[in-house]
Amino acid sequence: MYKFLAGLSLTLPVQALTIQVDYRFDTEGFFDAPGAKEAIEAAASRWGRIINQNLLAVNIQDDARNDVRFAPIHPATGKQIQMSAAASAGSDFLVEVGAPAADIYLDGFELAEDTWILFVGGRNMDDLGAAGPIGLGTNFDGVDTDPESLVNRGFNSGPDSLSVLGGSAAFSVNANWNFDLNDPSGAGGIDFYSIALHEIGHAFGLCSRSSPKWIELSSSGTYQGEAAISAFNADNVEVGEPMEVMLVNALELENPNGRDYHWKTGAQKSKIFQFGQPSRFGVVGSDELQPLLMDANLNLNAQYPRLEITNVEVGGLIDLGWSIISEDPPPPPELPLALERSVNGGIKLSLPTKVGSTYTIQTTTDGVSWLNVEPSITGDGETLNWEDGQEGFVDPNGNAIDLSGKFYRVIEN
Ligand SMILES: [Zn+2]
């Protein structure tokens, strides 16, 4: 006899910032590898659950007098390119006044509010990865320092401006990667999730020579940002510890000559930032110290198969000016899902819907491994009625009537 589970809730993590991963520059096909897209999107999503900066929508169009350009590093070539919101060189005001043509003409560029774009790709390189914020285009600094400008997104302006549009990240096409999100040590390769977290950290300006604010806080091989330092002290000094345990007043950087702004490899540890659902696979756990994610060289090994974002990195983001969550958002409400037996002895499910929301029915036979019933259903404000075995739907677990136990839930997003 089958059983069913009623009244299930949304289980997808709440995003504070949406990081829109953009593959247009992946000309080497790096992200065609099985699991690669899932892994970069999981890493992007992890940062997006931590940073809750409000960003105004961007809508830049071809303009007779102010064709905006921005300049990411092309992930597949390592070269900085100019992307213009103009339709073509022929309508590009900057070309009209004598500037060289841009590399790419977008004919308008839009980003939704609270959305940040990450261009990704792979190339042949000596390191495992490389990343940075989107840079300034030919005329971008002019609009960047204008607090009224769309490209400040209502957040910041001036010479220390953060990259509020996005960043770019590239990964080595030669490395032996392990893209398995649930088993960082299993395939014997380098845990891609850890390296992706590290590189996206650079794209937000952490430990980046392309980040004016980071450079301002760094000198003579030390970092003076207050939030990162106090996070380090909080994690490393126990209450009641003897006085000889000194609080630090700076963090060590890799290169005292100031050409490498990473944390000094192995010099400092911190605990995993607990909010925003860190990975639970292969990490040290919630109350143990791990090497810093933004160390110059990530030493992934049997003791640390996966490194997560630590309190020190989150402190660094605060020092740069990003807004960060300080607690987990309240759990999403349960959906008023009703389940009953259908006339043919299977399962019938009903649920009031909201216009425009997407409802994905999932089933499991073991309560652990949930599979999507395809396709998802778009809400129209009416009650959704669905029967197991209904024509037009593919249920990978098969009909409930043929099984000894089957469970259902519905995800709304
Ligand atoms: Zn790095």
Q: How many residues does the chain have?
A: 413
Structure-model confidence comparison of residues 296 and 350, the more confident one: 296
Mean pLDDT computed over 389-404:
83
The burial of 27, by beta-carbon neighbours within 10 Å (0-12 exposed, 13-18 middle, 19 or more buried), is given as middle
Mean pLDDT computed over 166-178:
97
How high does pLDDT run on average in the chain?
A: 88
Instruction: Report the percentage of the chain scoring pLDDT > 90.
Output: 60
Q: Which two tokens stand for residue 371?
A: 């599979």
Q: How remote is the CA of residue 130 from the centroid of ligand 1, in Å?
A: 6
Q: How remote is the CA of residue 128 from the centroid of ligand 1, in Å?
A: 9
Q: How remote is the CA of residue 294 from the centroid of ligand 1, in Å?
A: 6
Mean pLDDT computed over 387-407:
82
Q: Are the C-beta atoms of residues 207 and 263 closer than 8 Å to each other?
A: yes
Please, which pLDDT band fits residue 1 given cuts at 50, 70 and 90? very low
Report the C-alpha gap between 376 and 386 in whole angstroms: 11
Mean pLDDT computed over 22-35:
97
Q: How remote is the CA of residue 138 from the centroid of ligand 1, in Å?
A: 27
Supply the pLDDT for residue 13.
Answer: 56
Q: How remote is the CA of residue 380 from the centroid of ligand 1, in Å?
A: 46
Q: How remote is the CA of residue 205 from the centroid of ligand 1, in Å?
A: 11
Report the C-alpha gap between 272 and 183 in whole angstroms: 18
Report the C-alpha gap between 204 and 52 in whole angstroms: 13
Is pLDDT at 61 greater than 80 in this prediction? yes
Is pLDDT at 47 greater than 90 in this prediction? yes
Q: How remote is the CA of residue 293 from the centroid of ligand 1, in Å?
A: 9
Q: How remote is the CA of residue 215 from the centroid of ligand 1, in Å?
A: 15
Q: What is the pLDDT of residues 186-228, one digit of tens each?
A: 667 999 999 999 999 999 999 999 898 999 999 989 999 999 9
Please, which pLDDT band fits residue 3 given cuts at 50, 70 and 90? very low
Q: How remote is the CA of residue 299 from the centroid of ligand 1, in Å?
A: 12
Q: How remote is the CA of residue 104 from the centroid of ligand 1, in Å?
A: 27
Q: How remote is the CA of residue 399 from the centroid of ligand 1, in Å?
A: 50
Q: Which two tokens stand for residue 9?
A: 């809730």
Supply the pLDDT for residue 8.
Answer: 47
pTM confidence score? 0.80
Q: What is the pLDDT of residues 125-165, one digit of tens each?
A: 999 999 999 987 776 556 666 766 666 888 887 777 788 89
Mean pLDDT computed over 38-50:
97
Mean pLDDT computed over 275-289:
93
Least confident residue range of 9-23, 75-89, 169-183, 293-307: 9-23
Q: How remote is the CA of residue 68 from the centroid of ligand 1, in Å?
A: 29
Supply the pLDDT for residue 6.
Answer: 42
Q: How remote is the CA of residue 235 from the centroid of ligand 1, in Å?
A: 23
Q: How remote is the CA of residue 261 from the centroid of ligand 1, in Å?
A: 9
Supply the pLDDT for residue 5.
Answer: 47
Supply the pLDDT for residue 187.
Answer: 67
Q: Are the C-beta atoms of residues 116 and 166 closer than 8 Å to each other?
A: yes
Among 131-140, 327-336, 385-394, the range with the most confident prediction by mean pLDDT is: 385-394
Supply the pLDDT for residue 151.
Answer: 67
Q: How remote is the CA of residue 297 from the centroid of ligand 1, in Å?
A: 8
Report the C-alpha gap between 370 and 397 in whole angstroms: 9
Is pLDDT at 169 greater than 90 in this prediction? yes
Is pLDDT at 291 greater than 60 in this prediction? yes
Q: How remote is the CA of residue 162 from the centroid of ligand 1, in Å?
A: 18
Looking only at the bridges linking them, the beta strands covering 371-372 and 347-352 are unpaired
Q: How remote is the CA of residue 159 from the centroid of ligand 1, in Å?
A: 23
Q: How remote is the CA of residue 323 from the centroid of ligand 1, in Å?
A: 22
Supply the pLDDT for residue 318.
Answer: 97
Q: How remote is the CA of residue 353 from the centroid of ligand 1, in Å?
A: 45
Supply the pLDDT for residue 148.
Answer: 65
Q: How remote is the CA of residue 397 from the centroid of ligand 1, in Å?
A: 43
